[in-house]
Structure 1
Amino acid sequence: MIRPPFLQTGDCVGVLALASQVSYATLTEGLRILREDWKLEVIEGKTLHTSYYQFSGTDEERRQDFQQMLDNPRIKAIFSARGGYGSSKIIDKLNFRNFKKHPKWVVGFSDITAIHAHLHKLGFESLHATMPKLFGQQGGADALESLRKALWGEGLHYEALRHDFNRFGRVSGQVVGGNLCLLAHLMGSRSELDTRGKILFLEDVEEYYYNLDRMMVQLQRAGKLSQLAGLVVGQFTDLKDNETIKFGKEAYEIIAEYVAPYDYPVCFDFPVGHVADNRAMVVGRQAQLSVTHEGVQLFYFH
């Protein structure tokens, strides 16, 4: 995998809204952190100030905003201010020719999973991590610091507590993954994720239990679970059940059922997802996952 250059004080970065519209007022603290705390020059995309129904702009406006930042050799990292929906609508119209000459970090999570998967197919590392709208939120200090460390090339070593559903083992492999809904959505497209021999991480938000089950069926039938090196199950937040007849299983029970036939290590309740403590995951980088009686460690190789 090709690794973009790590950031240095004074570097130029871009902030835009790749998917849903964002209120500019919610970015005050995030932009301040980038400029004052991290000492970066910030170019603001037009999509921080525009909207088109639920989106931050039309497909073409969002594509142009992203394309300009991909093409600008001064920009060393691109942050999506928030997720929502819409990244996958513009992927196939993007041109990565200049990006390949001057690689840069692309940062975001949730809907931005689509971009990470596409960049992974192109052979570039990227950062599934907290976004400027969420910088400074209560409980998010560790997540923000993990993003800073990732961007500045410092070591990343995460720990998680033991969970009853964990399956023990120690493996190494490339880390890939993100939002489960988006990974299922990308099946059959040019951005479909190859999970063979890799450490897959999953998270999601505001899904019905039956739909979570359906997406796990899709991953299983597509062969995305059978040849993993390991599985990291993050946070599945604000999930919903049927109003009348209940589905009968909760998120971790559903996932545990679909990985039961395989023997790779699995950890649950990892700090990644739609929560304040959303640790930065370097998509495409080699790491070691260790799941033991004492707990979980994920160590990225530098």
Structure 2
Amino acid sequence: MIQPKALQKGDTVGLVALACKVDFDLIKPAIEVIENIWGLNVVLGTSLKSKYHQFAGTDEIRANDFQLMLDDPNIKAIISARGGYGSSRLLDKIDFTNFIQNPKWVTGFSDITAVLCHIHTLGIESIHATMLKLFMQDGGEFALETLRKTLFGESLSYNIPAHSLNRKGITKGQLVGGNLAILTHIIGSKSDVDTAGKILFLEDVGEYLYSIDRMMIQLKRAGKLQSLAGLIVGHFSDLEDNEVQFGKNANEIIQEAVAEYNFPVCYGFPVGHEPENWALPCGREVSLSVEENGVWLSDKI
């Protein structure tokens, strides 16, 4: 797996909205952070100020933004403004030839999971992390710092407390994953990721509990769970239930789906639709230790 070059102060990064439309005023503070604190130059995509129904401009506008930034050798990373829906509509419109020859960091999460997974199939690392719209949210300071550190080539080393549902074990493998709904959405497409021998991480927001169950069953039936090296369960936020209750919470649904397997599983990892959304480099070889007194995730193998 190819790791794009670490950023250095003075480098240029591209800012783009690949999915839903953005209130440009809300991302101005993020631009100031990137320029004045991180010491980078920015190129603003047309999509940041474009609107087409719920999207950040038409598919053509968003795809053209992404293509230009992938092809421009002066742009060293591409940072997503927000998710929502729409990035998978662009993937078959993009020519990744120049990107494969000159890889650069692409960052985002939520709907951008489709893009990160597609990049994974090309053999290049990307970064699942907070986005421009969320740079300044209360409680997200550490998450923002983890994005900066990953972009600038610093090692990853995380530790979280133990969870009552954890399944202990020590493992290693490439990190893959992201939003559960998107991971099921791309099954069977050119962006579909082979999860065998890898450490999968999952998160989601705003879904019904029965839908979480349905998607986990889909992953299982598609063979995405049986050969995992490990599983990281992140935030499952703002979930809903029917009048006749489903009877299990998200963690319990996932626990049931992987009960027959033996790989280590940790719950409550800070990744997903909460301020604590720590950066995870997709495609990076990492070690995962799920122990009695806590969980450790590191790329120092």
Shorter-chain TM-score tier: over 0.9
Gapped runs of 5+ residues in structure 2?
Answer: none
Match of 2:65 in 1: 65
1:218 corresponds to which residue?
A: 218
Equivalent residue, structure 2, for 1:185: 185
Counterpart for residue 256 of structure 2: 257
Query: Equivalences for 1:193-232 in 2 at 5 Å?
Result: 193-232=193-232
Quote the offset at 1:193 in angstroms: 1.2
State how far apart, in whole Å, the 1-side matches of 2:107 and 2:275 are. 16
- Match of residue 274 from structure 1: 273
Q: Name the stretch that deviates more: 93-102 or 12-21.
A: 93-102
1:159 to partner: Cα distance: 1.1
The within-5 A match list for 1:25-104 is 25-104=25-104
Structure 2 equivalent of residue 283 of structure 1: 282
Residue 301 of structure 1: how far off its partner (Å): 3.2
Q: CA deviation at 1:160?
A: 1.2
CA distance in 2, matches of 1:70, 1:153: 20
User: How far did residue 101 of structure 1 move?
Assistant: 2.1
What residue ranges of structure 1 are gaps of 5+ in the alignment?
none
Aligned counterparts of 1:252 and 1:100: Cα–Cα separation in 2: 37
Q: Which residue of 1 aligns with 2:114?
A: 114
Counterpart residue identity of residue 16, structure 2? L
Distance 2:37 2:133 in 1: 16
Report the Cα distance in structure 1 between the residues aligned to 2:99 and 2:23, rounded to whole angstroms.
Answer: 28
Q: How many residues align?
A: 301
For 2:101 and 2:122, the matched residues in 1 are separated by: 13
Letter in 1 for 2:206: E
1-structure distance, mates of 2:246, 2:153: 44
Q: Deviations over 1:227-267 (max 9, x none)?
A: 0000000000000001x211111100000000100011000
Structure 2: how far apart are the matches of 1:100 and 1:190? 16
TM-score norm. by structure 2 comes to 0.99
- Fraction of identical pairs, as percent: 56
Cα distance in structure 2, aligned partners of 1:71 and 1:103: 10
Q: Which secondary structure state, in structure 1, belongs to the residue aligned with residue 227 of structure 2?
A: coil
Contact 1:126 1:283 in 2 (8 A): yes
Distance 2:278 2:98 in 1: 29
Structure 2 residue aligned with 1:137: 137
Say if 2:179 is the partner of 1:176. Answer: no
Distance 1:279 1:26 in 2: 21
* CA deviation after TM superposition for structure 1 residue 136, in Å: 1.9
TM-score (norm 1): 0.99
The Cα RMSD (Å) is 0.7
Q: Deviations over 1:124-145 (max 9, x none)?
A: 0000000111112110111011
When structure 1 is superposed on structure 2, of 110-119 and 97-106 the one drifting more is: 97-106
Report deviation, 1:300. 1.3
